[in-house]
A and B are shown apart, each in its own frame.
Chain A
């Protein structure tokens, strides 16, 4: 059964050597193992310490508001009444919006770069794409303020408001700054991540599988659709998860364009607020222990949401990466 391991199988289930942690014969190997194990443990310890510290910092708020904090819709520092739902809403909706826009575009770009582009065009475009990921988010934010938001207001939102203003998504005053701008800027920021990882995943699909489809009389599109994408699917979901992670945690650029008002509105024109933004905006001027503690709890919540969404996405990868029976017999 030497030939049946698929590229996909290899990506998700690497064949491993037997671990020999305790019975290591060579001193050098033992030291090497201890050393690397310590580094690995360091990452875990940091995570644990972070969670612990955040929980302690938010103790006051946790005691005062209890679980109701998550569902509270009011954020009033003056009356010291704090609830996280508007921020939770802002983070989840802006990230979802970002993925909604970025996933089709980046998959398309990845398919072009991996399957269709002529050889001489592939690396320059790929390089530029990766360069997009290297631009500091504050630069994206500035661009958002000076270019994106006014453009959205005049070119997109006004006509939308005129034509579809009856729909709750497009109701209210077109202002440029708001949920739509936040989602769009996030989409632009996660696009290079998703596109370049997807491209790598598709390149890893064996040539033999493409040729198999082509030899059956598949067109280029059919080859991608029936052979390349199915074989790459778990890696593609992985790419999207990476993008989601970036969208959830992104702070600066979103803060600069989303409008920063703690409200929940169905309209994409209305301003919103994300968890990361409120912490960045208000932490330095938070007067009062409860205020600080509430911001810390928002941080804890963001931590939890990220963890939860990642776990869900993992589950999704596991579900869709399942092959027909016996595919992994190898």
Chain B
């Protein structure tokens, strides 16, 4: 079935070993931040970041707490500005078009650039089924198409087998890891081109984390993923490229293998070897 999102790996551990091979250099840039600055009130949280994220690759953003990595991520689908007093400046090009440009509707941007949050946030009053379809319904999907759509989304999020018999139950009745995959399914049901993941595993146990990481691999075959993580092993496991942010600035960006084995900047080296952060 085409919607399985590529062949499933037999052994998740092996899959995680195998993935972050150096990506072909010709991968196109899907998303590009240029001189991106972001404020909370008067506080400058991002001090002008320029970074490209390649299509169908996983880009990890790492850095110590407060370095602005979540803020950076939230600027990529214009979610930063929904907080009171928050604003952003600079350019973010999605397929070459500035999403901060004049006349761009943030609502449309967010439908193309999906997001999974740190804390799983399924809608508690909705069933599993309605949770998955929530975004699609906003887009006016017709009733007839719903069944196919939500099964496809749940399969892509690797949750279908676990929930197919309990679709009427509340999304909040699932375990934390399942909730996080439910939130991924909800985002995937909109068929986004980019998926932003903000520390998606920080509230999960190791087994649930492994499931989500496996999911990231599978998804990367179809879409562009940017993941913020405070876990360097995770960045090494799941990403093709890694960017290291510190105090609101981009310190270093490279292929993940290179960044973790031969960092150019002494700060990067100190961080990835655990000397600060």
Residues of A within 8 A of B (CB): 1-9, 119, 206, 208-219, 222, 226-227, 230-231, 233, 323-327, 329
Docked CA distance A210–B82 (Å): 10
In this assembly, does B12 line the interface, its C-beta being within 8 Å of a C-beta of chain A? Answer: no
Binding site for A on B (CB under 8 A): 77, 79, 82, 84-85, 107-108, 110-111, 114-115, 117, 119-127, 134-135, 138-139, 166, 168-176, 179, 183, 186-187, 190, 203
Known: A217-B107, A230-B126, A324-B127. A211 touches B121 (CB 8 A): yes
B176–chain A nearest beta-carbon distance, Å? 5
List of A residues within 8 angstroms of B171 by Cβ: 324
Contacts between the two chains (Cβ within 8 Å), count: 117
In the complex formed, the residue of B with least CB distance to A210 is B82
Given contacts A216-B187, A326-B173, A327-B173, 20 further A-B pairs with CB under 8 A are: A4-B172, A4-B173, A4-B179, A6-B125, A9-B172, A209-B121, A210-B82, A214-B79, A214-B82, A216-B135, A216-B190, A217-B135, A218-B135, A231-B123, A233-B125, A323-B124, A323-B125, A324-B127, A326-B166, A326-B169
Give the distance to chain B from A206, nearest Cβ to Cβ, in Å: 7
Residues of B within 8 A of A323 (CB): 124-125, 170, 172
Selected contact of B170 from candidates A3, A222, A324, CB within 8 Å: A324
Closest B residue by C-beta to A230? B125
Smallest Cβ distance from A225 to chain B, in angstroms? 10
- B169 and A222 contact, CB distance less than 8 A: no
A-B contacts, 28 of them at CB < 8 A, read A2-B176, A3-B179, A4-B174, A8-B124, A9-B124, A119-B85, A209-B123, A212-B121, A212-B123, A215-B114, A216-B186, A216-B187, A216-B190, A217-B111, A231-B125, A233-B125, A323-B124, A323-B125, A324-B125, A324-B126, A324-B173, A325-B127, A325-B170, A326-B173, A327-B125, A327-B170, A327-B172, A327-B173
Contacts known (A217-B190, A327-B170, A329-B173); A6 close to B135, Cβ less than 8 A: no
B121 touches A206 (CB 8 A): yes
Given the known interface contacts A231-B124, A326-B170, A327-B173, the answer about A216 and B138 at a Cβ–Cβ threshold of 8 Å is yes
Residues of A contacting B169 in the complex (Cβ-Cβ under 8 angstroms):
324-327
Q: Report chain B residues within 8 Å CB of A4.
A: 172-174, 176, 179
Give A214 to B121 CA distance when docked, in angstroms: 12
Chain B residue with Cβ nearest A229: B125
Name the B residues within 8 Å of A206 (CB-CB). Answer: 121
Docked pose: A216 CA to B134 CA in angstroms: 8
Whole-angstrom CA separation of A217 from B111 in the bound complex: 5
Residues of the B chain whose Cβ atoms lie less than 8 Å from the Cβ of A214: 79, 82, 110
**B122, B171, B172, B203: most-surrounded residue (chain A CB, <10 A):** B172
Q: Are A211 and B79 in contact (CB under 8 A)?
A: yes
Inter-chain CA distance A209–B175, complex, in Å, is 17
Complex CA gap A210/B187 in Å reads 14
Contacts of B127 in A (CB 8 A): 324-325
Given A215-B110, A217-B135, A217-B138, A325 and B176 touching (CB < 8 A)? no
Among B125, B134, B203, residue most surrounded by chain A Cβ atoms (within 10 Å): B125
Chain B's nearest CB lies how many Å from the CB of A321?
A: 9
Name the A residues within 8 Å of B168 (CB-CB).
324-325
Q: What distance in Å separates the Cβ of B123 from its nearest Cβ neighbour in chain A?
A: 6
Q: In the complex, A5 Cα to B174 Cα: how many Å?
A: 11
Whether the pair B124, A213 counts as a contact (CB closer than 8 A) is: no
When distances are taken between beta carbons in the complex, the residues of chain A under 8 Å from B174 are 4
10 smallest CB-CB distances across A and B, nearest first, come from: A326-B173, A327-B170, A216-B135, A6-B124, A217-B111, A324-B170, A208-B121, A215-B115, A230-B125, A324-B127
How far apart sit A217 and B179, CA to CA, in the bound complex (Å)? 20
Is there an interface contact between A208 and B119, defined as CB atoms closer than 8 Å?
yes
Interchain nearest-CB distance for A85 vs B (Å): 41
A211-B82, A214-B110 given; A6·B138 CB < 8 A = no
Establish whether residues B121 and A119, one from each chain, have CB atoms under 8 Å apart when the complex forms: no
